Amino acid sequence: MKIEKVESFYINSESQVKLTKTGKIYKLRSMKFKAQPHIQKIDKDRYVYLPTGEVKDYNHKAVTRADNAKNAKASFSALRDILNSNIDKPYKCLFVTITYKRNMKDVNQLYNDFRKFNMKFRRYCKNLNRDYEYICVTEPQGRGAFHCHVIFIFDKKAPFIPNEDVARLWGHGFTSVRKLKDDVDNIGAYLTAYLTDIEIEKIPDIRLLDNVTQFDIKSIETVDENGEKVNKSYIKGLRLKMYPKGMKIYRCSRGIKKPIVSHCTYSEALKTIGNAKLTHDNTIRLVDETGIEINRINYRCYNANKKEV
């Protein structure tokens, strides 16, 4: 199937749409035509392509970095929705990074070590009369090792916790404790960009730059170790290519809320969205193997946190 970016289309007020509410962020999906199935599953390995009647094989293996990146991108899209569904006020959060001294490549060991750390950290916080929910994101490094970024979400302002205490509880290497920025109006987009973009100078393998264009490069003003302002260049989403196939990218505690998904008419969706500001409007065209247009899909994002300029 081929996907092309095209101009938007008219959406009737009675058209059925999908509305996803993640905190104060609303995502709206509209289709020009009612969705029709184009494949029929036979078994786990084969399917029928209905327009032609051909029997085809499922591709179960990710054979390129692009395949892995596509799967990782879908996971980070879901992660972005979960972050926005659970973080209404950034000052309630602590952003903790935990790493290893050694080159640790065993994901199962990482999950087990994090489980033990979480038990210790929860006891530590209970001594402060505080409890939390968490979202833990696994991140691959250039040398093949893994580490974790954890967003701890408290029910009120996050307590001050010294980094040396977190390092002692973790016990495997470097740790970092930071607060989240209060002026970010889409925390999910902000954090997932932080987790997926890579500074150009830190790219571990030049082959990762295959198919990168100038539109994938962004420049950010930051402060160096001497307190001087400097501009650093990043490749957007490049870390997605570094995730192994099938890896579980993030884990959540039981109390983490899921996005609210509803199917309704376009007019009903707009009533729910209210005065939230439109921040993204994109339409794609789906074309099958024979060149026949299957559908056009419009994606819109509205942000109730966005301030008018």
Same domain, residue pair 75 and 160:
yes
In-domain check, residue 229: yes
Distance CA 291, CA 185 (A): 41
In-domain check, residue 156: yes
In-domain check, residue 309: no
How many structural domains are present in the chain?
A: 3
In-domain check, residue 27: yes
Give, rounded to a whole angstrom, the gap between the first and last alpha carbons of the chain.
Answer: 40
Same domain, residue pair 227 and 104:
no
Distance CA 19, CA 265 (A): 9
Q: What is the pTM of this model?
A: 0.84
Same domain, residue pair 18 and 115:
no
Same domain, residue pair 120 and 247:
yes
In-domain check, residue 31: yes
In-domain check, residue 218: yes
Domain that includes residue 210, residue range: 198-236
Q: What are phi and psi of 302, to 5 degrees?
A: -120, 140
Alpha-carbon Rg for the chain in angstroms: 22
Does 277 have pLDDT greater than 70? yes
Q: What is the pLDDT of residues 9-26, one digit of tens each?
A: 999 999 999 999 999 999
Residue range 213-230: mean pLDDT, rounded: 68
Same domain, residue pair 101 and 25:
no
Q: What is the mean pLDDT of the chain?
A: 88
Same domain, residue pair 30 and 55:
yes
Which pLDDT score, from 0 to 100, does residue 11 have? 95
In-domain check, residue 144: yes
Q: What number of other Cβ atoms are within 10 A of residue 291's Cβ?
A: 7
Q: What is the pLDDT of residues 179-199, one digit of tens each?
A: 998 888 899 999 999 889 887
Distance CA 289, CA 271 (A): 39
Same domain, residue pair 121 and 168:
yes
Same domain, residue pair 76 and 203:
no
Same domain, residue pair 70 and 133:
yes
Same domain, residue pair 40 and 87:
no
pLDDT band with cut points at 50, 70 and 90 for residue 309: very low
Residue range 262-273: mean pLDDT, rounded: 97
35-49, 182-196, 273-287: which has the minimum mean pLDDT? Answer: 35-49
Same domain, residue pair 206 and 297:
no
In-domain check, residue 44: yes
Question: CATH number, domain at 76?
Answer: 3.30.70.1910
CA dist 63 → 46, 68, 124, 244 (Å):
19, 8, 44, 11
Same domain, residue pair 45 and 142:
no
